[in-house]
Structure 1
Amino acid sequence: MPKKAWSWLYYNSPKQKVDKFTKEGIKKKCDKFIESVLKPRFISSSQSALDGSCVIDIYSKWWRNFIYFYAKYKDNRAEAIEPTYDWKLARIEYLKGDKYNLAYFRHTGKWWVIFYEIPLEECFESIEEMPHFHPY
């Protein structure tokens, strides 16, 4: 008979479901921020990265209680598998009321939360100022 041993019990708290009206309101604010701040700053016709790809669009998309910011790239290389591809820039997690977690997509393929329980306007300020959330 095996010996008894202590172990950790992991518990994930239930996620806050986001109603349709809240989603629409947050999506409008995010799209307004993208149109007024991110697109003018990071999308230009003369932009060309060293690897031959350039940002052609920035948009947001809901999934469960997260809203993601994506950058769409156009790959100009001859050996490119796809002419365009999407890359995740930021993830805003809705908690409740005006509380959000802000995360960026690391090179390891994992999301890393760097701001906990902050208002949406602070999320926008952080995305604008911090290079973690900028397209490369």
Structure 2
Amino acid sequence: MAKRKGQWVWVRTLSAEEKADIAVACERIITELFKPRFLPEIRPTSFNYPVDIFGRWRGNKYSFITRYRSGFPENAGEEFDMAFTRLDHIEESAGEHRFNVMWHRHTGQWWRLHSNVSLAIALDLIGTNELLHPL
């Protein structure tokens, strides 16, 4: 159930097949844009450094995630994940899935940048808006 303009409405959940199709489209952006541009090679440092960019479903939300590895002496080699952009599935309208495009703020909160857009438009926004790119 989702809340829209003060009302609760039922949102149909995505099937495993629909999630897989959406993940394939998102993986294309990761492999064709994000990895070549932001992670062409792994460069170890004495601080936290990125080692991978990938995507993952959690419920009806698909997150774009950067995995970091620690270079600090006290916890060298430990890894952690940090999401930077998220697609929230909100509804299916006329046979087309609609999403909110979310940005992960430095405060740890998610901020909706674009509302109720199709998957094609959402992926275009993610590919062109630098705010939605990994750091």
Q: TM-score, normalised by structure 2?
A: 0.80
Three-state SS of the structure 2 residue aligned to 1:76 is: coil
Aligned residue pair count: 126
Q: Residues 40-79 of structure 1 correspond to what in structure 2 (within 5 A)? A: 40-45=36-41, 47=43, 52-79=47-74
Q: Residues 19-58 of structure 1 correspond to what in structure 2 (within 5 A)? A: 19-45=15-41, 47=43, 52-58=47-53
Q: Give the letter for the 1:22 counterpart.
A: E
Q: CA deviation at 1:122?
A: 2.1
Once the two structures are superposed, what CA deviation does each residue of 1:30-59 show, in whole Å capped at 9, x if it has no partner? 11221111111111336467x722211111
Three-state SS of the structure 1 residue aligned to 2:108 is: coil
Q: CA deviation at 1:93?
A: 1.1
What is the CA–CA distance in structure 1 between the aligned matches of 2:82 and 2:20, rounded to whole Å? 23
Contact conserved, 1:93 with 1:101, CA < 8 A, in 2?
yes
Specify which structure has the higher proportion of strand.
Answer: 2
Contact conserved, 2:42 with 2:51, CA < 8 A, in 1?
no
Rg larger in structure: 1
Cα 1:114–1:130 shift into 2, 3 Å: same
Q: CA deviation at 1:82?
A: 6.1
Does residue 85 (structure 1) correspond to residue 84 (structure 2)? The answer is no
Q: Which runs of 4+ in 1 moved over 6 A?
A: none
Q: CA deviation at 1:109?
A: 2.0
What is the CA–CA distance in structure 2 between the aligned matches of 1:42 and 1:17, rounded to whole Å? 32
What is the CA–CA distance in structure 2 between the aligned matches of 1:67 and 1:102, rounded to whole Å? 10
Contact conserved, 1:16 with 1:65, CA < 8 A, in 2?
no
Q: Which runs of 5+ in 1 are unaligned?
A: 1-9
Q: TM-score, normalised by structure 1?
A: 0.79
Backbone CA RMSD of aligned residues: 2.2
